[in-house]
Amino acid sequence: MMDGALKTEERKMFIMGRVSATIQCGETTQCSKRAGQKDRQRARVSYMVEGKRVCRETYMFLHSVGDTQLRNITKSYLQKGVVPPSKASGGIKANKAAHSSDDINRVVTFITNFADTQGLVIPGRISGVKSSDPRIRLLPTNQTKASVWRSYETELASKNDQRVAKGLPPHRSAKQTTFLNVWRRYCPFVITSRPKTDLCWQCQKNNSAVYQSANLTEEDKLGRIQTQTEHLAHVAVERNLYRDMVLDSQAAVKEGRDGEEMHYSFDYAQQMHFPTDPDHPGPMYFLCPRKCGLFGVTCDGTNKQVNYLIDEGMTSSKGSNSVISYLHDYFDQFGRGERVLQLHCDNCGGQNKNKFLMWYLAWRTLYGLHDEIGVHFMVSGHTKFSPDRTFGLVKHRYKRTFVSSLQDISDVVEESSVNGHNIPRLVGLEDGTVIVPSYDWQSFLAPFFFPLAGIKKYHHIR
C-alpha cells in the first residue's frame, strides 16, 4: 500500500492526511442510532482504504505502520494540526551531547587513512568475508578495533595540542563506543583479521608483494596482482575438480552406481590426549598425557568417515607404512566394491605424496582389486576438504567430554555426529591387542617397482 520510496517524514504526513479525513473530534458524538448525542470523551478514527472501512490492524498492515506510531500521529494531529510530527525531546538535533558531522567525518577519515596505510588489499576471495566490495581492507592480525581507537586518541591529542598553541579550539574526541559505532556504520569495508594456520605460502608471498607496491608504477602493480590472480585461478580449477568428483560420487550412490566408481578423501588430524576433563580441577595435572592419533577416510558418496584411532603404543610415526595399512584395512572392511577408484589427499610427502603409496595403488590394480585408480593432490595451503569437516565435529565434542580411556575417545567420535557421519575404528587397545595390523609395505613393494622421478611436481597421477 505504501510506497517504499517515501521518506519517514513523508510517510507520516501521508498517514496524517488519511487520518484527518476520517477522524471525528467534535464536541458531541455522531451516532446515527441514538436520538440524543453525548459529550465526546475521545476522538474516533474511521479507518478507510479505497472507500471501504477496515479494522485498525488491517489499516496498520497496509500502511506499514505500528500501533505506537499510528497513535502518535493521531495525537500530533489533534494537538498541532497538519504539521510534521516531531519528538518531544527534539531528536538528535536538540541533543547537545551528540557528535557533529565534522566530528564523525574526522573519525571516518582516520579509519580509512589507517586502513590505506596498514591494511592489505587481497585480489580475490578473502577467507571469512562474503562481500566482494573492492574497497575492502584487511588489517593485520596485531591490530584490533580497540588498538585503532587508541591510535586515533593519540593522534587527535597531538593535533589538539597544536591547535591550542595556535589559539584555536580543540576538536572533540569520540569515545570508544562512539568510535566503534561510526566504524560499523560508515566503514564496514575495513575488517580486522584473526590469526590463521595452514595458510598458502604462495598467497602470503603474493599478498606481501601487493602490499609493498604502493610506490611502484601501475605496470608493476598490475604484474604483482596478475601473479596472485593466476595462482587463485589455478586453485579454483583444482577446487572445482574436487567438488565435481564429490558430486559425481554422491549421484552414483543415489543411482546405485557406486560399484562402478567412487571418490574417497583421507587425511591425518592433530593428536588427541587423554585423560582430559572439560571441568579441569586446578590442583590436578598430568606430567605426560597419553596420545591418540586420528586418521580419517571419507567416502564422499555417502558422506561417512571412518576414523582410525591410533593409540601411541600401536605406531610410532605417520609415515607411508601407516597410511597404506589404514587404507588397506578401509578398502577391505568399508569399501564399496568400486572398480574405478578416485582419491584426494594433501601434498604431505612423508605420508601421501611418495613412491610407496604409488606402488601400493599400482599393486591393487595388478591384483585386480581395482581396474583404474586416480590419485589427486590438492594445492599446498588450499587443502581444506571433507575430512577436515568431520575432524571438526570430533574436536568440538572432544573439548566438551570427560575422556579417561581410548574407549571414551571412540565414544566421542561416534557421538560427534547425530546422523552417524563419524565411525570410530580402533587400531589397537591399551593392553596391546592389535585390531588393525600395520605392515612393512615399503620392504614388500620395493623389489617389484621403480621410483617415479619428479613425483613432487605432479598433482594428478593415474
DSSP notation for 95-136: -TTSPPHHHHHHHHHHHHHHHHHH-B--SS-BTTB----TT-
Domain identity same for 388 and 274: yes
Domain identity same for 45 and 117: no
| Residue at grid coordinates 594445492 | 379
Domain identity same for 134 and 246: no
| C-beta separation of 170 from 160 below 8 A | yes
Question: Residue 401's CB: how many other CB atoms inside 10 A?
Answer: 16
- If one counts the domains in the chain, the total is 3
Quote the pLDDT of residue 249: 94
Quote the pLDDT of residue 266: 96
Domain identity same for 401 and 431: yes
205 within domain boundaries: no
403 within domain boundaries: yes
Domain identity same for 251 and 321: yes
How, if at all, do strands 372-377 and 304-311 pair?
A: unpaired
Domain identity same for 163 and 312: no
pLDDT tens track, the chain, 462 positions: 555 567 878 888 888 888 888 887 777 777 767 777 777 777 888 888 888 889 989 988 888 888 888 888 888 888 888 887 776 665 555 566 778 889 999 999 999 999 888 876 554 455 556 555 667 788 877 889 999 999 999 999 999 999 999 999 999 999 999 999 999 999 998 988 776 655 677 887 877 777 666 677 888 878 888 888 888 888 889 999 999 999 999 999 999 998 899 999 999 998 998 988 888 766 566 678 889 999 999 999 999 999 999 998 887 678 899 999 999 999 999 999 999 999 999 988 778 888 999 999 999 999 999 999 999 999 888 888 999 999 999 999 999 999 999 999 999 999 999 888 999 999 998 888 999 999 999 999 999 999 888 888 888 998
What pTM does this model have? 0.64
Domain stops at, among 178, 196, 214 = 196
Residue 185: domain span: 101-196
Quote the pLDDT of residue 412: 96
Domain stops at, among 55, 89, 123 = 89
| Residue at grid coordinates 572439560 | 278
220 within domain boundaries: no
2 within domain boundaries: no
| Residue at grid coordinates 565435481 | 244
Give the H or E element holding residue 305: strand 304-311
388 within domain boundaries: yes
67 within domain boundaries: yes
C-alpha 424/C-alpha 421 separation (Å) is 10
Domain stops at, among 62, 89, 116 = 89
Domain identity same for 369 and 407: yes
C-alpha 231/C-alpha 279 separation (Å) is 46
217 within domain boundaries: no
200-238 per-residue burial string, b: 16 or more CB within 10 A, e: under 16 = bebbeebbebbbebeeeeeeeeeebbebbeebbeebeeb
Quote the pLDDT of residue 347: 85
Domain identity same for 315 and 417: yes
Domain identity same for 410 and 301: yes
Domain identity same for 314 and 426: yes
Quote the pLDDT of residue 124: 47
Domain identity same for 56 and 120: no
**Beta strand residue intervals within 355-419, DSSP E:** 372-377
206 within domain boundaries: no
Domain identity same for 163 and 258: no
**DSSP structure string for 185-240:** HH-TTEEE----SS--HHHHHHHHHHHT-TTS-HHHHHHHHHHHHHHHHHHHHHHH
